[in-house]
Structure 1
Amino acid sequence: MKIYISVDMEGATGIVSSLHVVDSAPVEYAFGCKMQLHDLRAVIDGALEAGATEIIVNDSHERMINVDVSSLPEKVRLVSGSPKALGMIEGTEGCDGIFFVGYHAMAGTSGAILDHTLSVNTVFNVKLNGTPVGETGLNAAVCAEKNIPIALVTGDKAVCREAQKLLGEDITICTVKEGRSNSCGILLPPCETYPLLKNAAKEAVSSIRARKAPVLKISLPYSLELTFKHTRQCDEVSYIPGVNRIDGRTVMMKGESMEEMRRWISAATSLAESVRL
């Protein structure tokens, strides 16, 4: 069984501050990388014990060079660096199931730690076929087009709730903390989250084997709305051919391929991030 793990950082054990997830704060960032690796190793160990024969890990946070490959065991391959055509979901070919590890809730979620969607300073809201989605929803949609199930989501209570609403009760979740505000939470220590994550990974592998892990239900044609935080960001993106501007801060793109939509939103977000306000 081939398992794919997209590992972010904001939803990892112990992380509550933006300082934990940016390399401009070296001491705090080192802690963030340590905790990201802690959660990743826990789910890898669980997946291997449950019978996974190959694991693909995609370092999915910021510059995507956070995970130290020398800390990974045999049977694991790391997709590291950027840019990646499909970002957080690059390289899923031939995989039997997907884990989203260390994930966070979508932008605007109350009581969620470090909530955002794709870009903290750029994206206000994303809608897929009229439904608000975060990174969990966008990435699950790409996997759905390939008929690959999402078997596990880990992070704070808010993202786990988001995953269940999106994918149903059959999704395996693992909550490692509970948000009190955007940068405050009630945390479980690593000695407690490791067995929780490991056992959740085992359960997720079992759900894949039993064909119970859910595939996101989504229908053609795809419609993706992207609302920016500033009109000037929207100005720049609205000049892309094929993009329709809906209002001062929102653009829409329609298509028949979810991979194409994922590439589009990555390109649009990168362009918006380059705008000087």
Structure 2
Amino acid sequence: MKIFISADIEGVAGVVSPLQGTPGNPEYERARRLMTDEVDAAVVGAFLGGATEVVVNDSHGSMINLLPEALDPRADLILGKPKPFNMAAGLDRAFDAMFLVGHHGAAGGRGVLAHTTNGFAFRAVRLAGRPLGEPGIYGAYAGTLGVPVALVTGDDRTVEETRPLFPEAEFVAVKTALGHRAARQISPARARTAIRAAAAAAVARCRAMAPFVVPGPFVAEFEMNSPALADLAAVLPPARRLDATTVAFDCADAADAVGWMNALSALSAALR
């Protein structure tokens, strides 16, 4: 039984500020420890539930946030970027389930630190006309491989957004959003206990879960945060300009959409 964990930081208990996701300050150092502890709880729970192999992919920012020495030694860890398929690097058809730990709501939503991949670049991302955040986009990519999302942890808005996509999954809300940068948290200790139990339950049931699939071919639309960003995105030959801020790409499947999203995210650095 192989489990893949995509680990983010914004959905971790105790994290409410962009400062906590930005290296170079004491709050970030504290937040990365909280992130590592929640991921470790998911790893331990996965093994308790019957997993034989767990691979963790650090999926936030520079993707060198997790503390390897503090993670259960039975797990393998993927660090660094750029890497193929970004937040899903290392995922393949051999895995039985995908866990999304510490994830957050989509851009434009009311969740804590809600954004989609790159808060500077994207106002919204739509696959086949459907607005999706990172859990939905990478969950759809997992679906192309036949891998279901079996566990989602984050704030209450993340749970609300993703439950319709992954109705059979386990969910843990570690905080209740009071705004984009404010939340009522449960304690880190309680969060870890709940995640450990949910991970074990998810492994036990994951083989009966259906993958989330966005049937292709479809159009991926990227609504940028400014016309200048759309101007930049539109220089890519396959791009179609839909309006002042939106570009579209024809995609065979979610893998194509992930590729274009990450290309546009990287390209946007030219205008920062």
Conserved? CA contact 1:33–1:67, under 8 Å = yes
Task: Please report how far the alpha carbon of residue 177 of structure 1 lies from its aligned counterpart in structure 2 after TM superposition.
Answer: 0.4
In the alignment, does 2:209 pair up with 1:206? Answer: no
Q: How does 1:205-244 map to 2 (within 5 A)?
A: 205-208=203-206, 211-244=207-240
Please state whether the residue corresponding to 1:167 is helix, strand or coil: coil
Q: Is residue 215–residue 253 contact of structure 2 (8 Å, CA) maintained in 1?
A: no
Whether the aligned pair in 2 keeps the contact of 1:11 and 1:103 (CA below 8 Å) is yes
Deviations 1:124-180 (A, max 9, x none): 011010000000111011111111010000000000111102222x12101100000
**Paired AA for residue 203 in structure 1:** A
Equivalent-residue separation in structure 2 for 1:70 and 1:40 (angstroms): 13
Q: Does 1:264 align with 2:260?
A: yes
- Amino acid across the alignment from 1:74: P
Deviation at 1:258? 2.3
Provide the secondary structure at the position in 1 that maps to 2:220. Answer: strand
Whole-Å separation in 1 of the counterparts to 2:231 and 2:68: 40
Give 5+ residue unaligned stretches, structure 1.
none
Local SS of the residue matching 1:143: helix
User: Number of aligned pairs?
Assistant: 271
Find the counterpart in structure 2 of residue 36 from structure 1. Answer: 35
Q: How many Å separate the matches in 2 of 1:214 and 1:249?
A: 35
Q: Percent identity?
A: 31
Per-residue deviation, 1:40: 0.4
SS of the aligned residue for 1:165 comes to coil
Q: After superposition, give the CA deviation of every residue in 1:246-271 in whole Å (9 maximum; x if it has no partner).
A: 00000000121322221111001111
Match of 1:192 in 2: 190
The answer as to whether partners of 2:4 and 2:97 remain within 8 angstroms in 1 is yes
Q: Which residue of 2 aligns with 1:5?
A: 5
Structure 1 length-normalised TM: 0.95
Partner of 1:127: 126
Runs (4+) of structure 1 exceeding 4 A deviation are: none
Give 2:189's aligned amino acid.
C
Gaps of 5+ in 2: none
Give the Å deviation of 1:222.
Answer: 2.4
Q: Is residue 27 of structure 1 aligned with residue 23 of structure 2?
A: no
> What does residue 100 of structure 1 align with?
100
**Distance in 1 between the 2:166 and 2:68 partners?**
31
Mapped partners of 1:144, 1:125: distance in 2: 21
Kindly indicate whether the alpha-carbon contact (under 8 Å) linking 1:96 and 1:148 is maintained by their aligned counterparts in 2.
yes
Note if 1:249 corresponds to 2:245: yes
Q: Output the CA distance in 2 between the equivalents of 1:148 and 1:222.
A: 20
What is the CA–CA distance in structure 2 between the aligned matches of 1:41 and 1:162, rounded to whole Å?
24
2:200 match: secondary structure? helix
Q: Which residue pairs with 1:159 in the alignment? A: 158
Q: Say whether the 8 Å CA contact 2:112–2:181 is kept in structure 1.
A: yes
TM-align CA RMSD: 1.1
User: Can you list the C-alpha shifts for 1:106-135, whole angstroms capped at 9, x where unaligned?
Assistant: 01112x100000111111011010000000
Deviations 1:76-103 (A, max 9, x none): 1111000012010111122110000000
